[in-house]
Amino acid sequence: MFLAFIAFFFTIVGTRAEIFTNSFLVKMRQPAERYLADQVAARNGFVNLGPILGSQMEYHFVHKALPHARSKRSAPHMRRLKVDPLVHTAVQQLGFKRVKRGYNTFTTDNIASLYVDKNSPNPANRNPTDPYFQFQWYLKNTGQNGGKPKLDLNVEAAWAQGVTGKNVTTAIMDDGVDYMHPDLKYNYNAKASYDFSSNDPFPYPRYTDDWFNSHGTRCAGEVAAARDNGVCGVGVAYDSKIAGIRMLDQPYMTDLIEANSMGHEPDLIDIYSASWGPTDDGKTVDGPRNATMTAIVRGVNEGRKGLGNIYVWASGDGGEEDDCNCDGYAASMWTVSINSAINDGQNAHYDESCSSTLASTFSNGAKDPNTGVATTDLYGKCTTTHSGTSAAAPEAAGVFALALEANSQLTWRDIQHLTVLTSKRNSLFDAKGRFHWTMNGVGLEFNHLFGYGVLDAGAMVALAKKWKTVPPRYHCEAGSVIEPQKVTSERSFLLKIKTDACAGTEYAVNYLEHVQAVISINATRRGDLELFLTSPMGTRSMILSRRINDDDHRDGFTKWPFMTTHTWGEYPQGTWLLEVSLNSQIPQHGWIREWTLMLHGTREPPYTGLPAADPYSKLAIVKKAHEERSNAMNPANVALCTVSRGYGGRGARGGGGVGGSGVGNSSNNSNSGGVGGVGSGGGGGGGGGGGTGPTHGHVQQTGGGGPGTGGGGPTGTTASPEEVQALQDEQMLHVERPAQQGTWICCVPCYWLRKSKAVHKALLTFAMLLVTSLLVTSPVLFLITTLPEGEQPRDCAPLDEACIRERDGPEGICETKACMEASNRILASMKRGVDPCKDFYQFACGGFRDQQPYQPSSSFNMLQAQIDEHIHNRSKETFETCLEHENRLIAFIPGRLVAEVSVMKP
């Protein structure tokens, strides 16, 4: 059922001019052996190319007399097939374009003759002896060609662990593979290879004068080129096997060719690498058809004997004018979407950005445009100019091959979790400053261009060796907004869905992996649409960016699944916000017809029992966040008060219901309405009203109906323009405090706040501000009044020796009244009752933690840097206030409690 649901989502936006091929999908009335299908095809003038995905019901027929592409259906041939007694249905296949990513026009500089090293390899040399290894900066970056040293895939750390890709096969789905190349032939897996363009078992590239069909051979060399054989370079997983699947070399692609390619030998092939996709022109919206989607889903569920095949996809080469969430292959949660960076850490100019990108590898370098990826080429040649995200995807496939050798029991989801946890930010950055690194709700850093960072082969292999398979995955349809709403370019429009993430049902999701916003929307100009999805933990993802080349005004998006990985590991319960806007200088408008929120993840914490040796690693950070969440959600440890900032706090979940009422029985109090309880006879009752929220703007929530055994989940509501402004002004913060002795006291003010009128709450707020001010100013007044007479702070005269004097000792060290006063202020503001060595996160040096809220999952280094900067700024301001004068130069040195002051003689 779910498979059909997902396949329907990928109904693509049709083109105005349909192309019909000479291929037909023929469904038999009952299961039929291959020889029976051959007979049916022959007596009707067709050729049977074989079953679809091994089925005995569906076959791929071709009519040789028909042209490969025509503008009209061949009705007579379909009628002839349909009257055959063994045929149930016959569907002529549409043709569509699929393009290679990163293809460079052929020049004589692109290739080099095969080089054979006559000297035997030196076994003591840690580096491969292959002549082109020196150009493979993405494997070992020493700064060659202007690159940044150590900005690479860290494959040497994986190789040092004895992992080189043995017993793993990667299929290159492309225009063929030169399997006779000296650097590839010994790692070629012929049994797992096939040519679906010509329908034979020999996927050798078709010859062209411009070497147009060198693409697949170049990708293959990145994965599995042999080591120390004196030929070209070395592959990421140089002991792994490659399979060639030729499927990209015909005038038009069909759903059947794609499906058979992605479902070919799923138990022999571990990884499928695809460096192609829909046209990257900034106006195409396209993705896999039904048969292809079925093949991918079957692969991840049944391939590798149930562990799941890994599908690696190049994110796209459309640059900033395109968005890879409009590519249904790269944006699929079943694939691993890989972007690229260049050798100095910048994104490549052709890189697309989107929220579905999981990680990045490398493509052509920055300083020298001709310094691309060194790999194999056609006819025994080598090249250094392979480029585009086409080059990035095979590198990722090679890293995954290393991980699968380290642990052959990894599932397809394990690979994605390992990718998130071991990828590094390193030195990656957006060259145009559009997208910055952001931390999600559980402390994971991501970037809209690079995903979770550059793959680290050494770290992935090390973690794979001790990995424990993640818990089962569940799919929760969290809610829908189905009332059509008009959107204009004058202001943003906000929709919201409040959900308990299917809690209490068999589909409950507590820890997120992928999130899909399935949206139907159209506009007078589709390219001006921008969509943002904000999670209950405050993570904001741009799920669709503006595409200036897309001027569609008719098709829009129909049930298109915009996917984000940015909320990985977060808790989905709460309110999800969808912001819709039209970014245009010219007035535009549109209609959002439907939004369905799909949550995918686990019910149990995914990393329980997995040791985290490094306390500052991503694994440790996420585990800590999950443990804190689990402890906070334990009824024995949750206090009776929920605190919120900006929005009304999350309501208590109903514990059970009768019939359709769903009366909640939880004892938690809150300042917002709860979700209706589970009804035994149907949907639970509606939750309470929205929270009042403190002084900042808030979004009032309408309680959703609780899920019941008979159905009926929460439904979404729309937000007013005032709520849109509130969202921009303030982010939601939900805090659940561990229980302490006597926490029943907290219930009293919470109850009073809900029952009191606005004037009472205003008076209480004023009183609290007054008390806080007194508490802050009293210690300062006390210090001033207790200072010895004549030593109160004062303004310095230009040459007042009483204020500034040089000490009798090392020159330049200040020991004046002003310095002493500043030091006293700093020391007085420090809380000395807590040992910073024992509990750093509770150390409020300089009152920093009281003034600067931070996430519990923040890294040690980030927090320490913020505190240091806070202290330095306070000290600097204090000294400059007292010592500011044109004849005095103040040199503030971070790390000291005194300043060095030199007096400039007139």
Residues annotated catalytic, as ranges: 174, 215, 390
Angstrom distance (rounded) from CA 578 to CA 498 = 11
Do the beta carbons of residue 21 and residue 78 sit within 8 Å? no
Angstrom distance (rounded) from CA 238 to CA 230 = 14
Angstrom distance (rounded) from CA 454 to CA 433 = 18
Angstrom distance (rounded) from CA 712 to CA 523 = 31
The identity of residue 532, as a single letter, is F
Question: What does each C-alpha distance from 447 to 296, 353, 363, 903 come to in angstroms?
Answer: 27, 9, 18, 48
Task: Work out whether strand 373-376 and strand 359-362 pair parallel, antiparallel, or are unpaired.
Answer: unpaired
Joined together, the tokens standing for residue 296 give 């991918």
**482: DSSP letter:** -
Angstrom distance (rounded) from CA 657 to CA 707 = 10
Joined together, the tokens standing for residue 92 give 């002529």
User: Rounded to 5 degrees, what are φ and ψ at 531?
Assistant: -130, 135
How long a stretch of residues is the chain? 906
Backbone φ/ψ region at 176: left (φ over 0), alpha (ψ -120 to 50), beta: left
DSSP string across 72-138? S--HHHHHHHHTSTTEEEEEEEEEB--EESS-----GGG-B------SPP-TT-SS---TTGGG-TT
Burial of 30 (0-12, 13-18, 19+ CB in 10 A): exposed
The identity of residue 327, as a single letter, is D
What's the distance, Cα to Cα, between the start and end of the chain in Å? Answer: 86
Secondary structure class of 346 (helix, strand, coil):
strand
Question: What does each C-alpha distance from 32 to 24, 80, 85, 255 come to in angstroms?
Answer: 17, 19, 12, 22
Angstrom distance (rounded) from CA 565 to CA 568 = 6
Angstrom distance (rounded) from CA 530 to CA 545 = 5
Which string of b and e fits 649-671 if b means at least 16 CB within 10 Å? bbbbbbbbbeebbbbbebebbbb
Residue with tokens 């080189």: 164
E strands present in 570-610: 574-582, 589-602
Angstrom distance (rounded) from CA 274 to CA 327 = 13
The identity of residue 239, as a single letter, is D
Give residues with Cβ within 8 angstroms of 511, minimum separation 6: 569, 570, 571, 601, 602, 603, 604, 605, 606, 626
Joined together, the tokens standing for residue 754 give 């809900």
**Which residues, in sequence order, are bridge partners of residue 70?**
20
Angstrom distance (rounded) from CA 226 to CA 221 = 8
Angstrom distance (rounded) from CA 454 to CA 457 = 10
Give residues with Cβ within 8 angstroms of 316, minimum separation 6: 101, 277, 280, 322, 324, 327, 330, 352, 389
Task: Work out whether strand 58-62 and strand 99-100 pair parallel, antiparallel, or are unpaired.
Answer: unpaired
Nearest alpha carbon to residue 656 among 689, 634, 685: 685
**797: DSSP letter:** P
